[in-house]
Amino acid sequence: MMKITFIGGGNMGEAMLSAVLNKGLSLAQAVSVSDVDEACCQCLEQKYGVAVMNDNRQVVTRGEVVVLAVKPQHLGGVMAELKGRLSSAQLVLSIVAGARIDTLCRGLNHSRVVRAMSNTPAQIGEGISVWTATPEVTESQRGWAGSILGAMGKEIYVDDEKYMDMVTAVSGSGPAYIFLMVESLVKAAVDIGLPSDMAQELVLQTLLGSGHFIQRSGKPPAELRRMVTSPGGTTAEALLRLEKGGFSDLIGQAVRAAYNKAEKLGG
Ligand SMILES: NC(=O)c1ccc[n+]([C@@H]2O[C@H](COP(=O)([O-])OP(=O)(O)OC[C@H]3O[C@@H](n4cnc5c(N)ncnc54)[C@H](OP(=O)(O)O)[C@@H]3O)[C@@H](O)[C@H]2O)c1
């Protein structure tokens, strides 16, 4: 049974904590959480029966795995508190967006570090996390990291940190691109006269159905698109308009902009 400590029990900390318990990777009595938010502490204690306190320094010594799940702007302060309190055998698993391995190792004066990038669907076990690790992380600790992240959806290990900023621009920020597409499609549906609740249902099921169809058919999306596009038909008319407006190029530019920003933020 894995002893695991969470620094930060907000959206992602709780998602991971709940997934770890649900999948039986740990037990409530082996889990501890520290968060500055009193209400959050009480809620986690009641909901999961885990030990919760408002003291990063005290809690950090408890876990074999220490998960850093605070916002990037709080990371500096948290690292300063934890520095010198980690034993060399502990594994630090950071899900803090943009925090580089080198920053974490130096900030914590610690060498066993996993850096992961998850996304919001992880909160319902449908996320995708990409992670990398320092050479000092042992095989069994890599196994732990893979199973913790895998408890929130899919996980992919990469041996080169350069991929993390690319992942941030694609799957990290990606849910927001899809949400915008859904919002726009619902608005367009309402604009041509559909009732709003029906528009929502049509768009949502089209999104889910299309995702599953891509996955299960095993066919490339371009082929599926051609299959539903009869020459001279309605779909062709819409796609023509999208391409005239530079849809594919715009997606390319948006992802590139997110990637450039991720590189800049990481320093
Ligand atoms: N949300 C996502 O889907 C997602 C996806 C990928 C990566 N991430 C990364 O995951 C990390 C956590 O995101 P989140 O959405 O879970 O944020 P969140 O909901 O704000 O959770 C962070 C928690 O940490 C607490 N906290 C702040 N300072 C602290 C300190 N010094 N010591 C202990 N706890 C402290 C916060 O309390 P207060 O609210 O009082 O500040 C909050 O309860 C971020 O670095 C983010 O980049 C999130």
Residue 115's CATH number: 3.40.50.720
- Say which CATH number the domain at 237 has: 1.10.3730.10
Same domain as 197, residue 138: no
Residue 181 · residue 210 · CB < 8 Å = no
For residue 267, is pLDDT > 80? no
Residue 170 · residue 119 · CB < 8 Å = no
Picking from 136, 160, 184, the residue at the C-terminal end of a domain is 160
Distance CA(73)–CA(55), nearest Å, equals 18
Q: Does a structural domain hold residue 17? A: yes
Distance CA(63)–CA(165), nearest Å, equals 28
> Quick count: other Cβ atoms within 10 Å of Cβ 143?
10
pTM of the model: 0.94
Please state at what angle helix 196-217 crosses helix 221-228, rounded to 10 degrees.
Answer: 130
Same domain as 93, residue 42: yes
Measured in Å, residue 15 CA sits from the centre of ligand 1 at 11
Instruction: State the residue range of the domain holding 38.
Output: 4-160
Q: Is 119 a pocket residue for ligand 1 (Cβ < 6 Å)?
A: yes
Q: Which of 35, 128, 130 to mutate to test the pocket of ligand 1 (most atoms within 8 A of CB)?
A: 35
At 71, list the tokens.
Answer: 């916002």
Residue 50 · residue 31 · CB < 8 Å = yes
Picking from 160, 193, 214, the residue at the C-terminal end of a domain is 160
User: How many domains is the chain partitioned into structurally?
Assistant: 2
Task: Say what percent of the chain tops pLDDT 90.
Answer: 97
Measured in Å, residue 181 CA sits from the centre of ligand 1 at 26
> Would you state the pLDDT for residue 115?
98
Same domain as 181, residue 108: no
Which residues lie closer than 8 Å to 9 by C-beta, 6 or more apart?
A: 17, 33, 34, 35, 37, 40, 41, 44, 52, 69
Q: Does a structural domain hold residue 120? A: yes
Q: Does a structural domain hold residue 167? A: no
Same domain as 131, residue 18: yes
Same domain as 99, residue 53: yes
For residue 217, is pLDDT > 80? yes
For residue 266, is pLDDT > 70? yes
- How much is the average pLDDT of 112-138? 97
- How much is the average pLDDT of 63-70? 97
Same domain as 195, residue 80: no
Distance CA(116)–CA(229), nearest Å, equals 39
Same domain as 151, residue 255: no
> Would you state the pLDDT for residue 265?
87
Q: Does a structural domain hold residue 227? A: yes
> Would you state the pLDDT for residue 170?
98
Distance CA(267)–CA(257), nearest Å, equals 16
Q: Does a structural domain hold residue 26? A: yes
Same domain as 107, residue 8: yes
- How much is the average pLDDT of 40-53? 94
For residue 220, is pLDDT > 80? yes
Which residues lie closer than 8 Å to 217 by C-beta, 6 or more apart?
A: 224
Kindly report, residue by residue over 200-210, the tens digit of the pLDDT.
999 999 999 99
Same domain as 183, residue 148: no
Q: Is 43 a pocket residue for ligand 1 (Cβ < 6 Å)?
A: no
Positive or negative: CA dihedral 7, 12, 18, 22: negative
* Pairing mode of beta strands 51-53, 65-68: unpaired
Q: Is 120 a pocket residue for ligand 1 (Cβ < 6 Å)?
A: yes
Atom of ligand 1 at shortest range from CA of 122: 3
For residue 182, is pLDDT > 80? yes
Burial of residue 95 (CB within 10 Å: 0-12, 13-18, 19+) is: buried
Same domain as 102, residue 13: yes
Q: How would residue 222 be classed by pLDDT, with cut points 50, 70 and 90?
A: very high
Q: Does a structural domain hold residue 166? A: no
Residue 171 · residue 130 · CB < 8 Å = yes
Residue nearest to atom 21 of ligand 1 (CA): 10
Q: Does a structural domain hold residue 165? A: no
Q: Does a structural domain hold residue 214? A: yes
Residue nearest to atom 29 of ligand 1 (CA): 36
Measured in Å, residue 1 CA sits from the centre of ligand 1 at 26
Same domain as 138, residue 194: no
Kindly report, residue by residue over 140-177, the tens digit of the pLDDT.
999 999 999 999 999 999 999 999 999 999 999 999 99
Same domain as 10, residue 122: yes
